[in-house]
Amino acid sequence: MARLGRLTFHVVEWGDARNVPVLLLHGRSGNAISWQRLAARLADRYRVVAFDQRGHGLSDWPRRYTHRLLAEDVEGVAEAAGVGKFALIGHSMGAAIAWTYAARHPESLNCLVLMDATPDPPDENEPYPAGPLTPSGLKAPEEIVAWAATRGWTKGIGRQDLGRWLTRYARLVPGEGYVRGFDEAAYELAYVSGRMWPSTRTDWRAISRITCPTLVVVGENGMVGRELGELTAQNLRHGAFALIPGTGHLVHWQNLPAVLAAVRPFLDAHA
């Protein structure tokens, strides 16, 4: 555990502490352990560090969430872990936090990997649509997985990954049943209200300021799409692009071999 100010963060490590560090940032509703399969395959050469971001897993849930606060958490955890200069990999929300951090702390990073997340198209700044919240009254954590399956979220994901992601930190709330292992309602409010993210223009400005080599990894059928992913890589000073076939948004769970084939050589070259 790492103590940053008033908050405590759950930190997990793989590999030899003497190796080059790689820090992993999970997406919204994920956690540090959800990186297990990817982290284990990088741990032969790298010191891999992941943490439950605020409002997730075993880290504190302060009910206050903005991109600035989450980027500051990255700085604090990196300092607490003593990683020095490191490579940063982020997925989904974690990727957005990663590009925010990279734009502000160019001296801290060897390289950056953004997984299935880019800014919205230029000049587009639509309000975030409210999403479906996990239903109340669930009697067992496994019912969370069953509900997620009805949304199409579990396709192509192994049972162990589903457990690490959806049920590992499920909480039993008296009178409400089991809830997912992150501060779901407060995060949804932060997104819908606009408090979580700046404008699209601010995001693209951050992308243009990133100085380290950056790999944009996009799922063939994910949330980003090839066109926007390639545009993001083109707007980076040292950008590269990789399309992962047969995957949706959860690229590193749905086709880990292809993700490793793209990410591992990039890290070996730049980290």
Residue 260: how many other CB atoms lie within 10 Å: 16
Residue 140 placed within a domain: no
Q: What pLDDT does residue 220 have? A: 97
- Give me the domain span that covers residue 231: 2-124+199-270
Q: Rounded to an integer, what distance in angstroms lies between the CA atom of residue 250 and that of residue 155?
A: 9
* CA distances, 178 to each of 10, 132, 147, 155 (Å): 21, 16, 12, 22
Domain with residue 12: its CATH number is 3.40.50.1820
Q: What pLDDT does residue 127 have? A: 73
User: pLDDT of 89-139, one tens digit each?
Assistant: 999 999 999 999 999 999 999 999 999 999 999 877 677 777 789 999 999
Residue 192 placed within a domain: no
Residue 8 placed within a domain: yes
Residue 15 placed within a domain: yes
Q: What pLDDT does residue 131 have? A: 79
Domain count for the chain, please give it: 1
Residue 175 placed within a domain: no
Residue 39 placed within a domain: yes
Q: What pLDDT does residue 129 have? A: 77
Structure token pair of residue 140: 């067992």
In a 3-state reduction of DSSP, which class is residue 148?
A: helix
List of the chain residues with pLDDT < 50: none
* Residue 62: CA count within 13 A, CB half-sphere: 14
* CA distances, 11 to each of 143, 226, 252 (Å): 27, 33, 20
Residue 264 placed within a domain: yes
